[in-house]
Amino acid sequence: MREGLVISLRYGVYVVKVDDQYISCSQRGTLKKEKRSPVVGDKVLVNLEENVIENVEERKNILKRPSIANLDQMFIVFSLKEPEFSYHLAFKYLTYANKYHIKTILILTKSDKDISISETKEIVNIFNKLNIDTYVVSNKTKDGLDRLAPLFKGKISCLVGQSGVGKSSLLNAIDSSFNRGEGEYSVSLGRGKHETKETILLPYQNGYIADTPGFSSLDLELYKEDLAKYFPGFTSLYEDCYFNDCLHISEKHCRVKEEIEKGNIPQIAYQEYLKLSMEAVPYIKRYEV
């Protein structure tokens, strides 16, 4: 039995890196029966005689969308144009990552497009105020990539975002040897076209970068309680609210609303929080028949 790292999964076939070899494996049936199936990023024990994964080692974390484990950090990728940047989606993705206690970095691509510099600065300032590191890059001109590339060193990182924002293009701009297929943005459809079909770990600077399929924000399961606790800028304040189930809307003695009134949390962030909270359901809904 040897330890390996799951690099990719497609049609039930796992590619596992064992030492310097890449081995195609299946999983032992008991793992699937016990609902312990491996995912990309898992450290596993492999039976090399049968090319079968026998066991999954303890995980640091695991995400449902994209299906990946043991992340050190998540890079949430948005384009400034085509598709247009969306605060609504950005805050939803950031809350989702916070829920799983994964460090997040925001990347804004397509800075080479015809975009207002002041508008871009405003976006960056809003997220910096919430202690979210934000980088503006162009995959086409490679502007800004020199600051971004070193952040991947020695880490298991994941790129997530909508289709068409330039995740695969970003990887190719960082290292042309990745040769990832690049999707396109459809003006008529108003959204990107899927190109990446699977989650795959790509080796880079003694670590790995995961390229993932684009997916809709509707796939991110968030409940009102998640938003109240994990929305950017709220987590450190949540336990200081007078009510331990405070949703930061109509409750009195709300620490979050106090910080908003002081200007320490941007108004646009709170406006998006209210929209997301209206869309979400409380936990109790999951148990109703």
Please calculate the CA angle 148-20-6 and round it to the nearest 5 degrees: 65
Average model confidence (pLDDT) across the chain? 88
The closest of 242, 222, 75, 91 to 151, measured between CA atoms, is 75
Predicted structure pTM score: 0.85
pLDDT for 221: 79
**Does residue 134 contact residue 104 with C-beta atoms inside 8 Å?**
no
Query: Per-residue pLDDT averaged across 13-41, rounded?
Result: 95
Please state, for a pLDDT cut of 70, what percent of the chain lies above it.
90
Distance CA 181, CA 195 (A): 6
Beta bridge partners of 6: 16
Q: Please provide the CATH number assigned to the domain covering 68-218.
A: 3.40.50.300
Q: How confident is the model at residue 180 (pLDDT cuts 50, 70, 90)?
A: low
- Between the alpha carbon of residue 182 and those of residues 44, 68, 158, the distances in Å are 31, 21, 17
The yes or no reply on domain 222-287 and CATH 3.40.50.261 is: no
Instruction: Please give the sequence-ordered ranges of beta strands (E in DSSP) within the chain, or none if there are none.
Output: 2-10, 13-18, 21-27, 43-47, 52-56, 62-63, 68-69, 73-79, 103-109, 134-136, 156-160, 185-186, 191-192, 200-204, 207-211
**Fold of the domain spanning 2-58:** OB fold (Dihydrolipoamide Acetyltransferase, E2P) (2.40.50)
Residue 156 has pLDDT above 60, yes or no: yes
Residue 288 has pLDDT above 90, yes or no: no
| Bond into 266 cis (ω within 30) | no
Residue type, position 167, single letter: K
Question: Where do the structural domains in the chain lie, given as residue ranges?
Answer: 2-58, 68-218, 222-287
pLDDT tens digit sequence for 183-215: 443 333 344 344 546 889 999 999 999 988 765
